[in-house]
Amino acid sequence: MFATAAGQALFEVEATNLTIYRDGLVHVTQTLAANELSPEITLSLLSSSIENVMVLDENQMPVDYELNGDKITIFTLGAKHVSVEYETLALTKKEAEVWTLVADAPYNVKVSLPQNATVIYLSDVPTAIDTTGTCIVLSLQPSKWEISYVLPIQHEEESEGNSATQATIPTEYLTAIIFAAAATLLSALLIVKRRRGPNIKKILKSNPQLKQEDKEVIKFLAEKGGKAFEAEIRERFSDMPRTSLWRLVRRLERLEIVEVKKIGLENQVELK
Question: pLDDT tens-digit profile of 120-133?
Answer: 999 999 999 999 98
Query: What integer is the mean pLDDT of 181-201?
Result: 57
* Greatest alpha-carbon span in the chain: 80
Cβ–Cβ contacts within 10 Å for residue 145, how many?
20
42, pLDDT greater than 80: yes
For residue 72, what is the domain's CATH number? Answer: 2.60.40.3650
Query: Is there a domain that residue 158 lies in?
Result: no
Query: What integer is the mean pLDDT of 77-104?
Result: 94
97, 13: one domain:
yes
Cβ–Cβ contacts within 10 Å for residue 112, how many?
22
Distance of CA 15 to the CA centre of its chain: 18
Look at the chain and count its residues.
Answer: 272
> How many domains are contained in the chain?
2
Residue type, 121: Y
Query: Is there a domain that residue 28 lies in?
Result: yes
What range defines the domain where residue 64 resides? 2-150
146, 198: one domain:
no
pLDDT band at residue 231, thresholds of 50, 70 and 90? confident
Query: Using CA atoms, how far apart are residues 258 and 12, in angstroms rounded to an integer?
Result: 35
Query: Is there a domain that residue 165 lies in?
Result: no
Closest by alpha carbon to 19, among 10, 8, 4, 29? 29
Query: Using CA atoms, how far apart are residues 107 and 112, in angstroms rounded to an integer?
Result: 16
Query: What integer is the mean pLDDT of 58-76?
Result: 93
Considering 138-147, 148-157, 208-217, the range whose residues carry the highest mean pLDDT is 138-147
Query: What integer is the mean pLDDT of 92-119?
Result: 95
35, 102: one domain:
yes
27, 94: one domain:
yes
224, 93: one domain:
no
93, pLDDT greater than 60: yes
pLDDT recorded at residue 73: 95
pLDDT recorded at residue 90: 95
Query: Is there a domain that residue 135 lies in?
Result: yes
Query: What integer is the mean pLDDT of 28-44?
Result: 92
Query: Is there a domain that residue 175 lies in?
Result: no
The secondary structure of 38-50 as a DSSP string is -S-EEEE-S-S--
CB 85 within 8 A of CB 53: yes
6, pLDDT greater than 70: no
For residue 235, what is the domain's CATH number? Answer: 1.10.10.10
Cβ–Cβ contacts within 10 Å for residue 86, how many?
20
Query: Is there a domain that residue 184 lies in?
Result: no
**133 Rama class: left (phi>0) / alpha (psi -120 to 50) / beta:** left
Query: Using CA atoms, how far apart are residues 9 and 1, in angstroms rounded to an integer?
Result: 10
Closest by alpha carbon to 109, among 137, 148, 67, 80? 137
CB 26 within 8 A of CB 89: yes
DSSP at 80: S
The pTM assigned to this predicted structure is: 0.58
167, pLDDT greater than 80: no
Query: Using CA atoms, how far apart are residues 241 and 168, in angstroms rounded to an integer?
Result: 56
